[in-house]
Amino acid sequence: MPSVDCTADSVIASNYEDWLRKGIHVITPNKKANSGPLYEYLRLRALQRQSYTHYFYEATVGAGLPIISTLRGLLETGDRILQIEGIFSGTLSYIFNNFKDGRAFSEVVAEARDEGYTEPDPRDNLSGIDVARKVIILARESGLKLELSDIPVENLVPEPLRGSSSAEEFMQQLPKFDEELTEILKDAESSGEVLRYLGVVDVSNEKGVVELRRYKKDHPFAQLSGSDNIIAFTTRRYRNQPLIVRGPGAGAQVTAGGKFNDILRLASYLGAPS
């Protein structure tokens, strides 16, 4: 019988070891266990192998998109990962897809919040920590032994507002800080470029980063719409033309689809007819 953790709670994730030790399979979109302290992650994976249980977490990166399974498929067939880069946040994808045509950054953030694309406090999205957790998960899947603290993160929350007492106060004050990002956008547009918020796993150099980057308008990362995610795998096999996975990376339906796929995979492994 599996345990399906649908939370983002670190306390619940701390129970995975005990569940696996007792022979309970774990399926989860919760990023906390796989992006927590490295020694705990390594201990969890070793225990999972020793206990002959299954631990599935496809939806931790990209919701229902086949990101983890694609990475594993590449590694298991003998490919060598060189770099993984992508737009891993549906929220920040939506924001930067709409931050154009003279619109203020604060206006777009407010719109994203009203449409339900952000957390109740948008600072949780703009801080970049969620993207960093996804970068760490993919880095560890690729064989890198990195801590979350090893990932430099460009925080889009203006420093004076990081201590705002409430989300409402943050939103009220955010327009005062529009000018800096507006100048960055204007500079990019003058060069025929767009802004995108990226997570990168540089496997060759054993590092990762989360930051705002500029791309020419004909680049695949510049051609997104809505809240789509896009992830590019550069490998020994796909060196000249990266393997790209693109589609909705957030939302209840697609996340549920990712979890349900893991449940069906577990059933298949346990002997259910295909």
Annotated binding site for NADPH, which residues? 31
E strand intervals along 125-263: 193-202, 207-216, 228-235, 243-248
Spatial CB neighbours of 160, under 8 Å, sequence gap ≥ 6: 173, 177
Spatial CB neighbours of 49, under 8 Å, sequence gap ≥ 6: none
Structure tokens at 59: 């939806």
Residue that is written with structure tokens 């204007």 in the block: 186
Which residues are annotated as catalytic?
134
Estimate to the nearest angstrom the gap between the alpha carbon of 151 and the chain centroid. 13
**Inter-residue contact 126 to 195 (CB < 8 Å):** no
Nearest in space to 64 (alpha carbons), one of 200, 270, 228: 228
Q: Provide the 10 A C-beta neighbour count for residue 61.
A: 27
In angstroms, what is the C-alpha Rg of the chain? 19
Number of helical H runs and strand E runs in the chain: 12, 8
Residue that is written with structure tokens 């002997």 in the block: 271
**Residues marked as binding?**
31, 119
Spatial CB neighbours of 71, under 8 Å, sequence gap ≥ 6: 81, 84, 138, 141, 142, 233
**Residues marked as binding for L-homoserine?**
119
